[in-house]
Amino acid sequence: MFNLPDRYKTDVKVALKDFIPKDLKPNDKKRIKDAVKEVRLVYQIAGEEIPSVVDANYRCQAIQFFDIEVVDIKDAQFLASTYQNIIKPYCVIHMHDAKDEVYSFAVKRLNQQDDTQIVIEESLVTEKYPMNLPDEGRNRLLAYMDFLTIKNKLDKDFVYNDNFKMTEEEGLISDGAMDSQGERFIVNSSSQNRFHANWMNMMYPRLQIAKDLLKESGLIFISISDIEISNLRILCDEIFGASNFVVDLIWANKEGGGSSDSKLFRIKHEHILCYAKNIAEVEVIGIPVGNEDRYKSEDEYVKERGKYYLQKLGMGSIQYSQSLDYPIEVPDGTTVMPADNNGGKKACWRWSKQKYEWGKANGFIEIKKDGSGQWTVYTKQ
């Protein structure tokens, strides 16, 4: 239980030598010494009957709440198993290192043949929750185990709700888009000081669920613009692990000159961020290039760009645009228009004049006569 009243607060530091039972095996004692940095008994409820979250047979008169700082959270499972069996009262053990935290719970009862011993009927160590980032799973846990929620309910009323149907209003409240009085919250506009933080709060639990749904050899691909790419990397490094980063695929999402997305530069690309659940299990199986035999031509850039094929710059099949219908000078000093490369029919170039000048300067344009002697403009693909 959480949000306990101050009357239960103890906040007593427990000496490590007193926290390690003398009858433990030497290897287990050493492991605890190496793993644990500090132990505190932060709360203790005693001398009153506490409603159980299980059923009436498991009501208890004492619950202890321990906070254990560990060197590495990977030792949490061992510590939880050890101390839930040693500590006779019900106890909640909160363990954390510098990055992550977990909680340990156990359903206990006295041994019917020997009431000096306890029997662990069920135990649980939660998934890891990040210490410094919001987490939907932790929020659900804290709400479910809230002190007043449990204290004010009889066991017969404390039933898990498996009806997930919601009205639109209930859904908005659950998603944080509306308060309990029916007032919608303000949209997360970029003018807000917490614009990026709000976006990260929204994305974090969704990415965590996505990771849980992946199999060990699975990959996730996330399309994102420049606006949040850096924050997405932070989230994914936290959830999937930086070592499971695969690639940041940058792709051109606009053809031609593009539109002016910025006061300074034309933005014509976005990102596809790829992470693995377990990169050691990933096998990327490539597929052969189906039309590889068409890439036969070479130029001075072959080592950097590979072979290429030629494609006409003039096209009659695309929607006509006057801005793409401009003259191009050919080697003999004359000019050609798109229609000249399309049998005299109305046409336009595939590239803007600005892009054509760039392509010409960087070796992506080839102009030569076709079989009928007509000067034809090609791009190197």
| Confidence band of 87 (pLDDT split at 50, 70, 90) | confident
Given 234, 259, 281, the domain boundary residue is: 281
Q: Please check whether residues 233 and 104 belong to one and the same domain.
A: no
Q: Please check whether residues 296 and 374 belong to one and the same domain.
A: yes
Q: Please check whether residues 27 and 150 belong to one and the same domain.
A: yes
Given 240, 260, 281, the domain boundary residue is: 281
Q: At what angle do helices 195-213 and 136-144 cross, to 10 degrees?
A: 90
Please state, in angstroms and rounded to a whole number, the distance separating the CA atoms of residues 344 and 334: 17
| pLDDT at residue 95 is higher than 50 | yes
Q: Please check whether residues 19 and 147 belong to one and the same domain.
A: yes
pLDDT tens digits along 123-168: 788 888 888 777 777 777 777 677 766 665 433 333 334 444 445 4
Interval 273-283 mean pLDDT? 93
Q: How many domains does the chain have?
A: 3
Instruction: Say if 188 falls within a structural domain.
Output: no
Instruction: Say if 174 falls within a structural domain.
Output: no
33 and 16 Cβ atoms separated by less than 8 Å: yes
| pLDDT at residue 253 is higher than 70 | yes
Instruction: Say if 177 falls within a structural domain.
Output: no
204 and 239 Cβ atoms separated by less than 8 Å: yes
Q: What is the pLDDT of residue 278?
A: 93
pLDDT tens digits along 4-48: 888 888 899 999 888 888 888 899 999 999 999 999 999 888 766
Instruction: Say if 123 falls within a structural domain.
Output: yes
Residues 154, 157, 158: CA angle, nearest 5 degrees: 85
Q: Which domain holds residue 258?
A: 220-281
Q: Please check whether residues 306 and 346 belong to one and the same domain.
A: yes
Q: What is the pLDDT of residue 1?
A: 53
Instruction: Say if 215 falls within a structural domain.
Output: no
Q: Please check whether residues 239 and 340 belong to one and the same domain.
A: no
Extended beta strands in the chain, E state: 9-14, 36-50, 60-70, 90-96, 100-110, 118-125, 129-130, 219-224, 245-252, 269-276, 310-312, 314-315, 328-329, 335-336, 348-349, 365-369, 375-380
Given 102, 137, 157, the domain boundary residue is: 157
Please state, in angstroms and rounded to a whole number, the distance separating the CA atoms of residues 349 and 327: 10
Q: Please check whether residues 259 and 326 belong to one and the same domain.
A: no
Instruction: Say if 197 falls within a structural domain.
Output: no
Q: Please check whether residues 271 and 298 belong to one and the same domain.
A: no
pTM for the whole thing? 0.40
Instruction: Say if 214 falls within a structural domain.
Output: no
Instruction: Say if 37 falls within a structural domain.
Output: yes
Q: What is the pLDDT of residue 73?
A: 93
- Categorise residue 305: left if φ over 0, alpha if ψ from -120 to 50, beta otherwise: alpha
Better-scored residue on pLDDT, 208 or 219: 219
Interval 215-242 mean pLDDT? 90
Q: Please check whether residues 136 and 232 belong to one and the same domain.
A: no
Q: Please check whether residues 252 and 374 belong to one and the same domain.
A: no
* Mean pLDDT of the chain, nearest integer: 79
